[in-house]
Copies of this chain bind each other. A is one copy, B any other.
Amino acid sequence: MGVALPRKEMFDIPEGVIYLDGNSLGVLPIGAAERATEVIRDEWGGQLIKAWNTAGWMALPTEVGDRIAGLIGAPAGSVATGDTLSIKVYQALAAALKMRPNRRVILSDNGNFPSDLYMAEGLIKTIDKGYALRTPAPEDVLAEITEEVAVVMLTQVDYRTGRMHDMDAITRAAHAAGAVMIWDLAHSAGAVPVDISACNAEFAVGCTYKYLNGGPGAPAFIYARPDITLDLEPALSGWLGHAAPFAMEQAYRPAMSTERLRVGTPSIVQLSILQEALKVWEGVDMADLRAASIALSETFIHEVEARCPTLTLASPRDAARRGSQVSFAFEHGYPAMQALIARGVIGDFRAPNIMRFGFTPLYLDQAEIVRAAEVIEDVINNEVWRDPKYHARSRVT
C-alpha cells in the first residue's frame, strides 16, 4: 500500500480548473519553479562553468533516468534521458534495424502517434535500402508479425482513444518471429503500471511532460535492455555518449553503459525541473494509481453517457484495455472542447472528431469528475458549442 491518492497538495493547480489534460501537459508540481530559480541563479549564475561538477550537472541525466527507470520496471542505469521523444524513437529504431541486418520491414500501426511514423519514414529515406513501414490497424498487428519483420514499433496506449496494446503478448510474438521490440511509453509512464523488464522488450522510449509533469519541453527518455546495451550502435553518436567525452578523441567510442544513448549537452534547467517533478512519485504504489485511474474513468464514462447520448465512446469500454484516458467522438468536438475549456473543464481535441480526457489520480478526485460531467452535459445538451466564438481554430487544443 502506497501513500494516499490524490496528493493535490504537491501541485499548484489554478482555482476553478478541472484539469483533464494531464495526458498532454501535466500540471505544475510544487517546488518546480523554486528549483528552476535555484539552478539559474545559484548554479548557473553563481557557479558558472564549475557547476557542471559542483552542482552535479554532469550526473543529472543519469540520476533522472534512474528515477524514471523505477516507474517503468527498469533497473537503475538502463534509462538515458535527453532530447525529444521523436529523437529517441529514431535512436531506438536505427539501433534496432542494425540488430536485424537481413530484414527490411518495420511494423507499427495506424494508431501510433504520427511523429513516430514520421521519424521511421525519415530513417528509411536516410538509409535508402528498401525498408518498408507497415501500419495495419492496431488489432491486426499480431497477425502481421512475420519473419520479414525486423522491428515492431508501437505505442502502448493510443493517443486518441486510450486503447492499450498487450505489451507482453506482442513482445512475445515479436521475439518468436525474430523481431526486435520497441515500445513508446508516452501515454504509459506514470499512467499505467509498466514492467519493461518482465516484458523483455529491447527498447522503450517516452516523454516526461505528460503524466510525469516535467513541464513544457521536458526531456525524453530511452531504455535499452541491459543485455544488449554494449552491442548497440548509436546512430546519433554525440559526444556525451562517448566513453570519454572530455578526452576529445577524434573517433567515436561508445560509453560502456546506457549513456551511449545520450547525444549532446543536456538541457540542465528542464532536467532539474523534471528531477523535482519526479519527487511526487515517492511512495506512490502503481497498483493503487491504476485502481484510482480506473475508478475515475469508469465514473466519467458512466456520468457522461448517462447525460449525453450524442457523444459516442471512442475508447475501449473494458477498463483493462484502456490507458488513463477516455475519448468521446463528437462531430462538433472542436468547438465543444473550446466551450468546455472556457468553463474550466480542460481536455483537448484531436482531429477529426475526438474529445480527449485524461485521468491523473495524483491530482484528481471523484467529485471533480462528476462536476466535469455536469459541465459537459450543459455544453453538449444545450448546444453551447454553437457559439461562433468557439469555432476559431488555434494550433494546439
Contact = CB atoms under 8 A, between A and B. Distances in A.
A393 B32 CA distance: 32
A40 B24 contact: no
Interface string A243-279: 0011111111000000000011111111101000000
B94 A87 contact: no
Interface string A186-221: 000000000000000000000101000001111110
A214 to B, nearest CB: 10
A123 B45 CA distance: 36
A299 interface: no
A20 to B, nearest CB: 10
Contact of A216 (B53, B82, B220, B269): B269
A102 to B, nearest CB: 13
Contact of A246 (B32, B94, B240, B395): B395
A395 B52 contact: yes
A87 B264 contact: yes
A58 interface: yes
A84 B265 contact: yes
B115 A57 contact: no
A150 to B, nearest CB: 14
Interface in A1-60: 12-14, 17, 19, 21, 24-25, 27-28, 32-33, 36-37, 40-41, 43-46, 48-53, 57-58
Interface stretch (A72-80, A229-237, A369-377): A229-237
Contact of A396 (B49, B235, B247): B49
A112 to B, nearest CB: 9
B269 A239 contact: no
A357 to B, nearest CB: 12
A322 interface: no
Number of this chain's copies in the assembly equals 2
Interface stretch (A125-133, A164-172, A286-294, A309-317): A125-133
A174 to B, nearest CB: 22
Nearest to A21: B49
A135 B249 CA distance: 13
A382 interface: no
A284 interface: no
A48 B16 CA distance: 13
Given A217-B268, A273-B269, A252 B121 contact: yes
B12 A45 contact: yes
A46 B346 CA distance: 12
A33 B123 CA distance: 38
B346 A264 contact: no
A223 interface: no
Contact of A46 (B14, B25, B125, B237): B14
A358 to B, nearest CB: 10
A127 B127 contact: yes
A86 interface: yes
A25 B248 CA distance: 18
A70 interface: no
A243 to B, nearest CB: 11
28 contacts: A12-B41, A25-B49, A27-B48, A28-B41, A33-B36, A33-B37, A36-B37, A49-B396, A50-B341, A50-B346, A53-B397, A83-B84, A86-B236, A86-B263, A87-B236, A114-B249, A115-B239, A117-B252, A118-B237, A118-B242, A122-B237, A125-B235, A135-B250, A207-B265, A217-B265, A246-B395, A269-B269, A269-B273
Given A12-B41, A14-B48, A52-B216, 16 more contacts: A19-B48, A25-B44, A49-B348, A53-B394, A84-B265, A86-B263, A87-B236, A87-B263, A128-B129, A135-B250, A216-B266, A217-B265, A217-B267, A248-B351, A267-B267, A269-B270
